[in-house]
């Protein structure tokens, strides 16, 4: 494939970039992601690279793909490189280009849903392994690639089911890499834990009646009190973040009103209204105390107001970033050898890493994208091809470091 350049000069596109753009064009977008198309594409790559490929049906109709590069000592615990196939919906009218055309502009920016979150990382894993294999390299530890569905809708029918399976236990995981975030500056952000996700529905019953009257004890009055309590707390946490140079977004509790439901007609006071909130809580926070606080807000709002959970994670596990930890030492030393500055944080949203950490495996969230605006789930999501290619170089350096970690206590 040949791409035009300024002044009429033409340049042959890098094959890794071409592959990345091809993957972006597969419409794995919710609510009807083309998982079959993605799996077919990735299976072809596994054949090209000579990597055994296994499909695991975690729930009826949903499959996880596992590609494996066996180490010279397969009894040692393995390295897991995780990524997800699915992407979030788009509002096409706000995009500069078709979000599923993988258009590249004159500056080398590749536009597409999933360009940052996280189809780039999948291809970077694969292309790094391709380079290492072409160089004739092999390492003591086996490297597995897991490519999962449904991460963008909570991972309940993807990674959560996978980690419960016998097939996952058979992978003998020692350490995992998963997605991170872009960083607009020189630094690369690394995530060693993440906030818990609480999706909360607060139901507010009240007295119905005609819209022309002053009905007492209405659902509207109650839902207003609920919203005020939740959003007043939001402002306090926002202020705490903005006034501290030490805190990052992952260190505070965010509360956002994301839905309001109820009512049947403009002239009818409803008998119930519902407010939905997206709440993200750091692993160091007192979860029981915060849940009790929400109950108090509901009680204060009025009789019958109840809080229901649609999602409630409670993981407080963190991956060690102590210099004495062998996995972190291998990762951080490899970064230093490339003169990379890393900044360790708690991930502000949620990824499949939480399921991996929850069952006791160390996992780091890392997407090698510095000098890049954070555009996951945003309009005009894009990644520059130079940043993408540098990411492959980084993984080509990182994977040998991790796969060569000496045998640990209890390993063969």
Question: Taking a C-beta distance cutoff of 8 angstroms, is the pair 204, 274 a contact?
Answer: yes
Please give the structure tokens belonging to residue 99: 């979000």
Given phi > 0 = left and psi -120 to 50 = alpha, else beta, which region is 390?
alpha
Rounded distance, CA 125 to CA 178, Å? 11
Reference 176, options 302, 83, 292; nearest CA is: 83
> Among the options 150, 151, 152, 251, which is catalytic?
151
151 annotated active-site:
yes
CB 171 within 8 A of CB 78: yes
Looking at 86, 150, 251, 381, which residue is catalytic?
86
Beta strands in 206-326 (DSSP E): 209-210, 254-262, 268-269, 272-281, 306-312
Secondary structure of residue 239 in the 3-state scheme:
helix
- Report whether 366 contacts 92 (CB < 8 A): no
DSSP string, 159-211: HHHHHTSHHHHTT-EEEEEE----BSSS-EEEEEEEPEEEEEEEEEE---EET
- The answer to whether the beta carbons of residues 202 and 305 sit under 8 Å apart is yes
Contact 412, 76 (CB under 8 A): yes
Query: How far is 395 from 124, CA to CA, in rounded Å?
Result: 7
Q: How many residues does the chain have?
A: 412
Catalytic residues: 86, 151
């Amino acid at each position: 494939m040949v791409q035009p350049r300024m002044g009429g000069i033409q340049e042959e596109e890098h094959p890794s970039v071409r592959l990345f753009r091809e993957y972006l064009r597969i419409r794995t977008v919710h609510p009807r992601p083309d998982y079959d198309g993605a799996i077919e594409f990735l299976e072809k790559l596994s054949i090209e690279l000579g990597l055994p490929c296994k499909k695991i049906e975690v729930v009826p109709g949903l499959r996880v793909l596992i590609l494996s590069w066996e180490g010279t000592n397969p009894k040692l615990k393995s390295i897991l490189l995780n990524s997800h196939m699915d992407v979030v919906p788009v509002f096409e009218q706000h995009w500069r280009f078709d979000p599923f055309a993988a258009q590249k502009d004159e500056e080398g920016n590749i536009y597409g849903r999933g360009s940052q979150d996280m189809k780039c990382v999948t291809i970077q894993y694969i292309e790094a392994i391709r380079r290492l294999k072409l160089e004739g390299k092999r390492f003591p530890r086996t490297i597995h690639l897991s490519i999962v569905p449904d991460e963008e809708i909570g991972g309940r029918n993807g990674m959560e089911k996978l980690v419960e399976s016998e097939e996952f236990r058979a992978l003998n995981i020692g350490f995992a890499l998963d997605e991170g975030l872009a960083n607009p500056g020189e630094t690369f952000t690394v995530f060693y834990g993440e906030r818990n996700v609480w999706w909360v529905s607060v139901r507010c019953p009240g007295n119905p009646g005609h819209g022309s009257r002053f009905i007492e004890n209405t659902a509207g009055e109650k839902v207003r009190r609920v919203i005020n309590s939740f959003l007043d707390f939001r402002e306090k946490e926002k202020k705490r973040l903005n006034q501290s140079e030490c805190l990052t977004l992952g260190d505070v509790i965010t509360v956002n009103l994301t839905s309001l439901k109820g009512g049947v007609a403009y002239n009818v006071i409803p008998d119930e209204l519902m407010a939905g909130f997206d709440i993200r809580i750091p692993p160091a926070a007192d979860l029981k105390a915060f849940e009790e606080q929400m109950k108090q807000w509901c009680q204060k709002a009025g009789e019958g107001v109840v809080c229901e959970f649609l999602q409630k994670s409670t993981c407080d596990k963190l991956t060690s970033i102590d210099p004495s930890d062998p996995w972190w030492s291998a990762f951080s030393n490899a970064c230093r050898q490339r003169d990379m500055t890393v900044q360790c944080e708690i991930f502000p949203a949620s990824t499949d890493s939480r399921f991996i950490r929850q069952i006791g495996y160390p996992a780091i969230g890392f997407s090698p994208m510095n000098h890049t605006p954070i555009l996951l789930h945003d309009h005009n999501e894009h990644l520059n091809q130079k940043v993408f290619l540098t990411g492959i170089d980084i993984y080509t350096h990182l994977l040998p470091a991790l796969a060569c970690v000496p045998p640990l206590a209890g390993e063969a």
